[in-house]
Amino acid sequence: MALLKILQYPDDRLYTVAKPVTKVTDATRALIRDMAETMYAAPGIGLAATQVDVHERIIVIDLSETRDGLLVLINPEFVRREGEVVREEGCLSVPGIYENLTRAERICVRALDENGIPRELEAEGLLATCIQHEMDHLEGRVFVEYLSQLKQTRIRAKLIKRRRETL
């Protein structure tokens, strides 16, 4: 297993639209293991392949306290989105920035699991928010893009300054 480098906003590669996985192979499963290890080490509750510069439609999520409840979504698609809820979000590609965003309250997604088997999943609460956040990454969208231009400019400047100071 390997720890992967997480792209940091405003890296242009975060704006890449990921391609569907055509066949779930051992190589896909090896990538999923590395993504999970990277997410646990960060630590985070979700990670999209886009964030580790792999532009395939793969997401890992684990909301469990014990970190043994890995959810894998390959080629996820929305079946339903209902209601609206405001929740605070963070992002491993935008470290230290937490902002309130409005998203669907309940969702149903269709996706392949790590064995290539199609599944449907109903989600609400933090899981629904996290799935939507990660699906945005696969579309090349970062959560800060929902904020005002002023906030985006401030976040960009803050992260660039912080990075310069840690070099």
Query: 134 an active-site residue?
Result: yes
Task: Tell me the C-alpha to C-alpha distance, in Å, between residue 142 and each of 38, 88, 114.
Answer: 19, 14, 25
Pick one of Zn ion, ligand K1U, none as the site partner of residue 130 (Cβ within 5 to 8 A by kind).
ligand K1U
CA distance 156 to 154: 5
Radius of gyration of the chain (CA): 16
Pick one of ligand K1U, Zn ion, none as the site partner of residue 107 (Cβ within 5 to 8 A by kind).
none
Nearest of 43, 79, 35, 40 to residue 60 by alpha carbon: 35
Residue 43 in contact with ligand K1U, rule: CB under 6 A = yes
Point out the catalytic residue in the list 84, 99, 114, 134. Answer: 134
Q: Which residues bind Zn ion (CB under 5 A)?
A: 91
Q: Which residue is nearest to ligand K1U (CB)?
A: 44
Task: Tell me the C-alpha to C-alpha distance, in Å, between residue 16 and each of 32, 62, 81, 112.
Answer: 19, 24, 24, 21
| Residue numbers 71-130 binding ligand K1U by CB under 6 A | 89-93, 129-130
Positions marked catalytic: 134
Q: Given the rule CB under 6 A, which residues bind ligand K1U?
A: 43-47, 89-93, 129-130, 133-134
